[in-house]
Amino acid sequence: MGLSTTCLILTTVEISKLVAETLTPFAMVFTHVLKMTCALAILGLDVVVYVWRTDGHWPLIGLVIDCALL
C-alpha cells in the first residue's frame, strides 16, 4: 500500500506541475525513476507471495497484472 501510495502522490505532483507549466525534464525523469523502482519492488513482493504462499489463484492474478502494467 505504501509503495502504491507513493506512486500516486508522485503522479499527482507531476500532473500539478504540468498544469502549472513548471514541469522540468529533471523532475519528470526523477519521478519516473522513483515510480519504476516502486513498481519493481511491488513486483518482487508479488513474486515472493506467489512462491511462499499458495492461497489459490489470487497471487498469480496480482503477478500477471503487475507484469502487464510494467
* pLDDT tens-digit readout, 10-24: 999 999 999 999 989
Residue 25, pLDDT score:
93
The CA-based angle 70-32-26, given to 5 degrees, is: 155
- Find the domain containing 35 and state its range: 2-69
Spatial separation of the C-alpha atoms in residues 65 and 68, rounded to whole Å:
5
Residue 55, pLDDT score:
66
Looking at the structure of the chain, the number of domains it has is 1
Q: Which residues of the chain have pLDDT under 70?
A: 54-56
Residue 49, pLDDT score:
80
pTM of the complete model? 0.77
Residue 1, pLDDT score:
83
